[in-house]
Amino acid sequence: MADQASPAAEITAEELLHLHLPDKQVELVRGRLVVREPPGFRHGVVALTIANRIAEFVRVNKLGVVVAAETGFKLFSDPDTVRAADAAFIRRERIPDPQPLGYADLAPDLVVEVLSPSDRAGEILNKTGDWLSAGSRLVWVIDPSRRNARVNRADGSESLLAEHDVLTGEDVLPGFSCSLAEVW
């Protein structure tokens, strides 16, 4: 469940970086703080499993970098939006040099979102829209409860995959594939 701060509470990405809310996960959406409880156990298992699969493929093929859950990316400015993915891939040629200590000012090429029972459909649609509008080319929304995944592409197309279908990296991560059944 997400709570948004009052209109007077608009903050910047830099302020968010130094904000400390123990045991909470936060994002910044158009200058407004969004606070969530940490996700549950199953969410963590699924997120790590898919992130490990992607990371190993990227490492072996020297394609770029994969970041862990809740790494923030500054997607928009004035007002700022900082979103965090459950896993994300950035192509080698797009990795900031030097790597920032704070939020990278870019959208990952591939974003993985794993749904939690408390996630609202509208929030997930907005978050997916932010990723794609900021430049992400592929967003996977994985739903452990329904055992399916929605693949959202930069061109506006989308696909729904069932439990035994295969996630592929398409043109973003060519050659990558992982059966959804392997992530449960």
Q: What is the pLDDT of residues 90-148, one digit of tens each?
A: 999 999 999 999 999 999 999 999 999 888 899 999 999 999 999 999 999 999 999 99
Residue 74 maps to a domain = no
Count of domains for the chain = 1
> Does residue 21 sit within a domain?
no
Strand ranges for the chain from DSSP E: 3-4, 25-29, 32-36, 64-67, 71-76, 81-85, 87-91, 110-114, 138-143, 148-153, 158-161, 166-168, 177-179
Q: Quick one: average pLDDT of 64-74? A: 94
User: Looking at the domain assignment, is residue 32 inside a domain?
Assistant: no
Per the structure, the complete domain to which residue 152 belongs is given by 39-69+83-182
| pTM of the full structure | 0.91
CATH code at 95? 3.90.1570.10
- For residue 25, being part of any structural domain is answered with no
Q: Is the pLDDT of residue 7 over 60?
A: no
Flag whether 125 is in a domain: yes
Q: Is the pLDDT of residue 5 over 70?
A: no
Task: Tell whether 163 is covered by a domain.
Answer: yes
pLDDT at 8 over 70: no
Would 147 be classed as within a structural domain?
Answer: yes
| Predicted pLDDT at 160 | 98
